[in-house]
Structures are given as structure tokens and as C-alpha cells.
Amino acid sequence: MKHTSKLIAATALLTILASPAFADEVAVGDTYFKLSGGVLVMEDIDGTAGGTPVEISFDTGWTVSGAIGYHLNPQLALEAELTYLTADFDQGTTGGVSVPIDGDVSSVLTMVNAHFHPMAGGSFDPYIGGGAGVAFSKLKVDSIGGVPTNIDDSSSDLAVQGTAGLNLALGGGAKIGGQYRYIWTDTGGSNTDELSGHAFTLQFITSF
């Protein structure tokens, strides 16, 4: 009977150790790496030139990013993120007349983010968060309405973002998911709006 009791205890222990939940608990740490990419929808820029209103629009752009983060507890995570985003200009409109713009705007964002996970530990992991950092932006315009230009400008500015997303646990510390980000950069001047946009991305996350 004693040997049988030991066998039952050993079987129970090994079963617990082999279960996916316990394997995650043991094999997966609080540090994670995230890779994401998707589309970028830039908001129009409104401004004035010589007192005349001007509106500049963009084509749909794209963005990629990588981040490394750490869970302070199951609900709260901090991460450092590096993002590249770019979008081509579409057209400029003033006085009811529109002309094509050949050029693009791009930014490299270095951000520190905080995310809150209210349902941490489940298969579905919704979260909200935000971050702040620096945007290293570049604006280049080759022509406006077919007329060659020589506009090439760069700047480093404050950047902030708000995020919301949903991840699906795959097991072994891996997750896939989708994320929405509103990104704002303090690139405006006295007569132009700041750059801002909406990013819709898919992401892969692995913990270690």
C-alpha cells in the first residue's frame, strides 16, 4: 500500500508538471518580445499659406515595430518600443482646387509604453495602454502639381500614443493578436497641424 501511495503521488505530481498551464508557469518568464506590422492611416494636415487655407492628404501607409517588455505583475507591463512608419502624400487642396503631391513623410519612434491587462492569464488577453517618446521625422516633397520642388526637412519631436488590443494565447508563452494605435507627434508649426495617424497592426509575442 505504501508503494501504491507513492505511485499515486508521483503520478499526480508528474501530471501537474506536464499540464500546459504549469508548463507555461515554469517555462515562461515575465519578459517578452513583440513584433508587429500593418497599415497606417494618416490624418489630413490643415494649415494656411498667405492666409489661404490648405489641406494636405495622404495615401495609406505602413508601419512595423519591435518591442521588449516586462510584466511588473500579471496586469501591468512596461515596454520599450521602436517603430518605423511611412506614408506617401496624396494631394493638396486650396480654394477648391486639388493638385497631386509627389513625396512622403516617415518617422522613427522611440517609445516607452505601459499596458494594462484586465484579464491576464486567460486565453483571450484584451488590453489598453499608452506611451510617450521621441519621433525622428523626415518630410520629402519632389513635386507639387507636377512642378519640381526641393523640400527636404527633418526634425525630432515629442510623440505620444494610445493603444488598445486583443491577444490570443497559443501556449508556451506565445501569443498572436491585433492592435490599434493612435499616434501623435508634435511636428506642427504656427500655421500647420501636427502629424497624427491611426495604425492597425497584427502582432506576434513570445515570452522568455
Strands 174-185 and 52-58: unpaired
Q: Which domains are seen in the chain, by residue range? A: 28-207 (2.40.160.20)
Distance, in Å, from the CA atom of 138 to the CA atom of 43, rounded to the nearest integer, reads 17
Strand, helix or coil at 117? coil
Question: Residues in the chain, how many?
Answer: 208
Q: Is the pTM of this model over 0.75?
A: yes
Q: What are the 10-residue block averages of pLDDT along the chain, 208 residues in total? A: 49 51 50 97 89 92 97 94 97 91 96 94 92 96 91 94 96 94 89 91 95
- Asked whether the beta carbons of 60 and 89 are under 8 A apart, the reply is no
